């Protein structure tokens, strides 16, 4: 998982098992950010549509912006006005594609998660340096 700012600059990365739910991985990623300032809004895909996660992020003064799942039973918590920001999510996908320009990350060759995280952080560093 990768955390980027509004321009696509990587701010943090985390590696976890693929068997865990993505909802449980968002808060540890926010704790591993490199910027001192906490984000005010978090754009995510439908996998983060969880009312307990929204409440936990609201306690941290972070607004979760993600589309609701189609099979949602409870009433919607946000209207379409906030989802207009969701159209800028392409910047996140673009940042991920920048990282995957490194062949070592495209196919995970590393057996240990610590080494894979180190290569991700190195790729994030090269991405940041190439932008300046």
29: left (phi over 0), alpha (psi -120 to 50) or beta: alpha
Domain boundaries, the chain: 2-131
The one-digit pLDDT tens for each residue of the chain (132 residues) are 888 888 888 888 888 877 788 888 888 888 888 778 888 888 888 888 888 888 999 999 998 888 877 877 777 777 667 777 778 888 888 888 888 888 777 777 778 888 888 988 888 888 888 877
Yes or no: domain 2-131 corresponds to CATH 1.20.1070: no
Alpha-carbon distance of 43 to 120, in angstroms, equals 21
Helix axis angle, 113-131 to 90-99, nearest 10°? 110
Alpha-carbon distance of 125 to 131, in angstroms, equals 10
């Amino acid at each position: 998982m990768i955390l980027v700012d509004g321009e696509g600059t990587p701010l943090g990365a985390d590696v976890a098992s693929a068997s865990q739910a993505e909802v449980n991985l968002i808060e540890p990623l926010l704790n591993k950010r490199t910027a001192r300032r906490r984000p005010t809004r978090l754009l995510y895909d439908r996998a983060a549509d969880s009312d307990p996660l929204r409440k936990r992020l609201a306690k941290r003064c972070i607004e979760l912006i993600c589309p609701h799942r189609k099979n949602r039973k409870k009433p919607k918590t946000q209207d379409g006005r906030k989802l207009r920001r969701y159209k800028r999510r392409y910047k996140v996908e673009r940042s991920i594609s920048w990282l995957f320009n490194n062949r070592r990350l495209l196919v995970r060759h590393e057996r240990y998660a610590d080494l894979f995280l180190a290569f991700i952080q190195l790729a994030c560093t090269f991405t940041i340096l190439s932008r300046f």
